[in-house]
Chains A and B, each alone.
Chain A
């Protein structure tokens, strides 16, 4: 309704401008609307068919028992009750949260440390070499890299245990013990993902005006103190974005545990998305899989909302 109100003055100003009188406003307006409809159709139809309808579909499916072969039967909340008493599902949520905490913390700390260090004085070419190196892993396939890492972290012939052996340490059962497996999944994930936060921080640091650093230096703030008192508050909007995106991505981890450990040993590295995959496409329990998906979605929304709420106190916009 209000759209009509705002559109008419826009057309009038155009018609009033010299030379535009030759074009009939209504014809031009109709042309514009037709063009807009044509331009939007692929994206809007696509998003409705492949995202909006499936979200609703997931919620509806989560209320039904369905294995594709037999006719679906209404289940009410049975799927939710089922997954809340399924120890594998519960463990997968715990694993995913544990993974998320360690992976995001490590990712942010490493990326922040490297971005701050890179911000110091050094030749421009060296800076761009380092920058390229740190985000290179991002262009590789998480699945293929996990195949590589599975060899590197092998307890008996892996290079990682050979390296720590050089320091006189005993071989670590990376993939064959519960804690080792989780640690390996975190390391492999962080190795590939820290470049993303790193690029965000490099961009954020570039946006801080030089004068602020100079003023801080004149006031005697240097080194670590300058970073804590001046740089970090100015970087806080970037920190918020990096942590929100980092958490959303980490809650969806799949490739690394699927290839490295297949969720094991036991269920120790089974993640929520692995459970969705297994329930739907290995056990054909589409209703339960959808219920887990809906819960994951709610979890992601809740964590994100919480983060924005907390950030109001800590984020400083210039």
Chain B
């Protein structure tokens, strides 16, 4: 790379570092532009929000749109519903995937291979293909149009189970064997030896579940019919529908509010999120 004789030919064939950085900057601006526009337009008055050119820093900053969105829709209720669904699904997935992943990685039992094969095979199945029967099952148990109907079916996670199995397989076997020699039973070995080491893996499962279910739209759209059970994305789309093109900044204020937890997780949990997204691809 650093051979002096090669610098000349490299300069001819590849972009200089500044051109490269400039190109990446333009792409980064295009990527973040719509988000910046959303935030700045939400801070304009509803009357000014149509006006062009767009302002990065609003000339007349106003929180009127934020007051407006609280008047138009019950933001607190939507946020509470979204939080309940997302938190319980994330917790539930961490529990089910942690336990099943451990069983597949570290316990001996009959039909281990075919069971694991079954779990892996269901990773390929798109949600949309199963949604009609799932809807009918939930309807027959009275769980449609309840938050529980959104939460419980999301507990089992084939991908999370796969991820946790890999995670437990990566831990040294000697730890468990040493504990066994000390007389620990299978439960003690899990509880005191391996479970405490699994936190980073569980964090990946939790962050991925949060990211997916906080933003989820398709299942809530089908399962939740009354407004009191709407989650944030559903509430925002119906807010836009109700207002038509009437007041951009009010809708955008709602979008900004709904983004806050996702952005917080992006900042705090960027590493597990990135690892999870990458393994989501690699493992399929």
Q: Total contacts A to B, CB within 8 angstroms?
A: 313
The answer, among A134, A147, A162, for a CB contact under 8 Å with B237, is: A147
Is residue B23 within 8 Å, beta carbon to beta carbon, of the partner chain? yes
Is residue A137 within 8 Å, beta carbon to beta carbon, of the partner chain? yes
26 chain-A/chain-B pairs, Cβ below 8 angstroms: A20-B181, A23-B185, A28-B186, A35-B103, A35-B190, A36-B103, A39-B103, A43-B157, A46-B96, A53-B133, A54-B131, A117-B20, A122-B20, A133-B32, A135-B274, A141-B215, A144-B232, A200-B281, A276-B128, A277-B221, A289-B132, A293-B130, A293-B132, A296-B129, A297-B129, A304-B124
A244 pairs with B218, CB closer than 8 A: no
The answer, among B12, B34, B137, B156, for a CB contact under 8 Å with A149, is: B34
- Report the minimal beta-carbon distance from B70 to chain A, rounded to whole angstroms: 17
A42 pairs with B17, CB closer than 8 A: no
- Report the minimal beta-carbon distance from B72 to chain A, rounded to whole angstroms: 14
Is residue B126 within 8 Å, beta carbon to beta carbon, of the partner chain? yes
Q: Which residue in chain A gives the minimum CB-CB distance to B255?
A: A144
Among B114-138, those with CB < 8 Å from A are 115, 118-119, 122, 124-137
The answer, among B53, B95, B266, B282, for a CB contact under 8 Å with A241, is: B282
B273 pairs with A139, CB closer than 8 A: yes
B107 pairs with A32, CB closer than 8 A: yes
- Report the minimal beta-carbon distance from B106 to chain A, rounded to whole angstroms: 9
Is residue B75 within 8 Å, beta carbon to beta carbon, of the partner chain? no
- Report the minimal beta-carbon distance from A219 to chain B, rounded to whole angstroms: 10
Per-position binary interface string of chain B over residues 138-149, scored 1 when its CB falls under 8 Å from any chain A CB and 0 otherwise? 010000000000
Is residue B222 within 8 Å, beta carbon to beta carbon, of the partner chain? yes
On A, residues with C-beta under 8 Å from B are 3-4, 7, 10, 14, 17-20, 22-23, 28-29, 31-33, 35-40, 42-47, 49-55, 57-58, 61, 68, 110, 114, 117-118, 120-122, 126, 129-130, 132-145, 147-152, 154, 157, 159, 162, 191, 195-197, 199-200, 203, 213-214, 217-218, 220, 222-225, 241-242, 244-245, 248, 251-252, 254-255, 259, 273, 276-277, 280-281, 286, 289-290, 293-294, 296-297, 300-301, 304
Q: Which residue in chain A gives the minimum CB-CB distance to B5?
A: A220
The answer, among B125, B126, B158, B217, for a CB contact under 8 Å with A255, is: B217
Chain B residues with CB below 8 A from A47, complex form: 118-119, 122, 156, 158
Q: Which residue in chain A gives the minimum CB-CB distance to B184?
A: A23
A43 pairs with B31, CB closer than 8 A: no
A140 pairs with B100, CB closer than 8 A: no
Is residue B166 within 8 Å, beta carbon to beta carbon, of the partner chain? no
Among B236-263, those with CB < 8 Å from A are 236-237, 240, 245, 248, 251-252, 255, 258-259, 262-263
When chains A and B are docked, how far (Å) is the Cα of A132 from the Cα of B266?
Answer: 9
**Dominant secondary structure at the B interface:** helix
When chains A and B are docked, how far (Å) is the Cα of A19 from the Cα of B180?
Answer: 9
- Tell which of A17, A37, A43, A251 has the most Cβ of chain B within 10 Å: A43
Is residue B226 within 8 Å, beta carbon to beta carbon, of the partner chain? no
B186 pairs with A130, CB closer than 8 A: no
Q: Which residue in chain A gives the minimum CB-CB distance to B153?
A: A50
Q: Which residue in chain B gives the minimum CB-CB distance to A43?
A: B100
Chain B residues with CB below 8 A from A38, complex form: 99
CB within 8 Å for A224 and B14 given contacts A33-B109, A135-B274, A196-B281: yes
Q: Which residue in chain A gives the minimum CB-CB distance to B92?
A: A42
When chains A and B are docked, how far (Å) is the Cα of A260 from the Cα of B223?
Answer: 21
Chain A residues with CB below 8 A from B100, complex form: 39-40, 42-44
CB within 8 Å for A296 and B217 given contacts A134-B27, A141-B233, A152-B37: no
B108 pairs with A7, CB closer than 8 A: yes
When chains A and B are docked, how far (Å) is the Cα of A28 from the Cα of B187?
Answer: 10
Given contacts A44-B156, A273-B128, 5 further A-B contacts (CB under 8 A): A18-B181, A53-B133, A143-B236, A200-B278, A223-B10
Is residue B197 within 8 Å, beta carbon to beta carbon, of the partner chain? no
- Report the minimal beta-carbon distance from B253 to chain A, rounded to whole angstroms: 12
When chains A and B are docked, how far (Å) is the Cα of A297 from the Cα of B130?
Answer: 10
The answer, among B20, B221, B248, for a CB contact under 8 Å with A120, is: B20
Is residue B59 within 8 Å, beta carbon to beta carbon, of the partner chain? no
When chains A and B are docked, how far (Å) is the Cα of A222 from the Cα of B2?
Answer: 12
B277 pairs with A135, CB closer than 8 A: yes
CB within 8 Å for A203 and B282 given contacts A19-B181, A58-B129: yes
Q: Which residue in chain A gives the minimum CB-CB distance to B158?
A: A47
B107 pairs with A255, CB closer than 8 A: no
B132 pairs with A213, CB closer than 8 A: no
- Report the minimal beta-carbon distance from B212 to chain A, rounded to whole angstroms: 10
A144 pairs with B259, CB closer than 8 A: yes
Chain A residues with CB below 8 A from B251, complex form: 147, 151
Chain B residues with CB below 8 A from A144, complex form: 215, 232-233, 236-237, 255, 258-259
When chains A and B are docked, how far (Å) is the Cα of A30 from the Cα of B92?
Answer: 27
Chain A residues with CB below 8 A from B103, complex form: 35-36, 39-40
The answer, among A7, A197, A220, for a CB contact under 8 Å with B6, is: A220
When chains A and B are docked, how far (Å) is the Cα of A155 from the Cα of B229?
Answer: 34
Is residue B24 within 8 Å, beta carbon to beta carbon, of the partner chain? yes
- Report the minimal beta-carbon distance from A149 to chain B, rounded to whole angstroms: 7
Q: Which residue in chain A gives the minimum CB-CB distance to B154?
A: A50
A159 pairs with B37, CB closer than 8 A: yes
When chains A and B are docked, how far (Å) is the Cα of A66 from the Cα of B112?
Answer: 38
When chains A and B are docked, how far (Å) is the Cα of A220 from the Cα of B266?
Answer: 41
When chains A and B are docked, how far (Å) is the Cα of A50 from the Cα of B132?
Answer: 11
